[in-house]
Amino acid sequence: MIENFIKNNNYEYYKDISLKKYNTYKLEALCKFLIYPNTVSQLLDLLDYLRKNNINYLILGNGSNVILDREVFEVIIKLDHFNKIDINNNIVVAEAGVSLSYLSHICMQNNLSGLSFAGGIPGLVGAATVTNAGAYQEDMANIVKEVKVITPNLQIKTMNKDDLAFSYRNSFLKHHKDYVCLETTFELALGESIKIKDVMDDRKRRRTLSQPLDLPSAGSVFRNPEGLFAGKLIEDLGLKGYRIGSAQISEKHANFIVNTGEATSRDILDLIGFIKSEVKKKYNIDLTLEQEIIR
């Protein structure tokens, strides 16, 4: 029994817990066991146990950019305790549980340029690496040097940038979920903290003006089609404010869906389907979902 295993091996865990505060859409879902490993050894032992016993699990970052479309999750693993940062000149190593936004500020304070785009991204380093998170025409692929992972056979391996096959909001790791990102090494440029801060402050102002930060959402819903902006396509259809249940196309930015109260995953997915259908009908463009549906 899993509870005996995690108790006997001194894991931090919580039983029968709501995941509402663990995803940025604030969707309700139940988790039977929410587990926080403290060390790589604990994580390896846990993964080995879960796989050998055919227990479904999900490694969840900050819960941004995801749609939890399941009522009950058996096991959720959180890597929040993997939060060390090491800086050596322009090389920065950050563990998977480090806040990407926090890391961008630490780099700014150390006169390191390259992560200013991440100041407003609410994810963690591990998930941001897997999804090649980005903003303002910059992304993780520009600055990642290598990534330490756990392989499907539970070995620890370092993958270089070429191995990771980065592309727009995509990577090798995104398509191989039996790999686990442990830490990411960044190669940044030397800069001046005051200039980097000015850039970050300007982008923060722009986000505040253009994005619905006052309501639960999971960031941009769709990828931008080449040469176009998904938000503008949706806005030009007059769909700002359109809602299904408590899920609404933001009045502020049409490529955001917000939870206005007690939205369900079905509300959000039905609204996504409606938007895709309307855009296809009007422009003959198939929008690609940027958010990940977890079933």
Q: What average pLDDT does the chain have? A: 96
Q: Of 151, 188, 159, 186, which Cα lies nearest the Cα of 43?
A: 151
Considering the candidates 64, 220, 250, 265, report the single residue annotated as catalytic.
Answer: 220
Give residue for tokens 């930060």: 213
Q: Return the number of other C-beta atoms located less than 10 Å from residue 8's C-beta.
A: 8
Task: Look at domain 2-77 and name its CATH class.
Answer: alpha beta
**What integer is the mean pLDDT of 166-171?**
94
Q: Is the pLDDT of residue 41 over 90?
A: yes
Residue 76's pLDDT band, with cuts at 50, 70 and 90, is very high
Rounded Cα distance between 126 and 98, Å, is 8
The percent helix, strand, coil of the chain (3-state, each to 5) is 35, 25, 40
Catalytic annotation present for 220? yes
Topology adopted by domain 211-294: 3.90.78
Q: Is the pLDDT of residue 119 over 90?
A: no
Tokens read off for 162 = 């070429």
Rounded Cα distance between 155 and 101, Å, is 29
Tokens read off for 129 = 């690496």
Rounded Cα distance between 12 and 10, Å, is 7
Interaxial angle between packed helices 100-109 and 193-210, expressed in degrees from 0 to 180 and rounded to the nearest 10: 150
**Cα of 17 vs its chain's centroid, Å:** 21
Pick the CATH number of 85-196 from 3.50.50.60, 3.30.465.10, 3.30.2290.10, 3.60.15.10: 3.30.465.10
Give residue for tokens 């959000």: 268
**What integer is the mean pLDDT of 235-256?**
98
Measure Cα distances from 216 to 40, 70, 235, 243, 248 in Å: 32, 18, 20, 14, 11
| 210 SS3 class | helix
Residue ranges of domains in the chain:
2-77, 85-196, 211-294
Q: Is the pLDDT of residue 136 over 90?
A: no
Structure confidence at residue 220 (pLDDT): 95
- In this prediction the pTM is 0.94
Structure confidence at residue 246 (pLDDT): 98
Catalytic annotation present for 169? yes
Considering the candidates 70, 95, 104, 169, report the single residue annotated as catalytic.
Answer: 169
Q: Of 223, 262, 218, 228, which Cα lies nearest the Cα of 243?
A: 262
With contact defined as beta carbons under 8 Å apart, do 68 and 45 qualify? Answer: no
Residue 155's pLDDT band, with cuts at 50, 70 and 90, is very high
Give residue for tokens 């993997």: 82
Share of the chain above pLDDT 70, in %: 100
Catalytic annotation present for 12? no
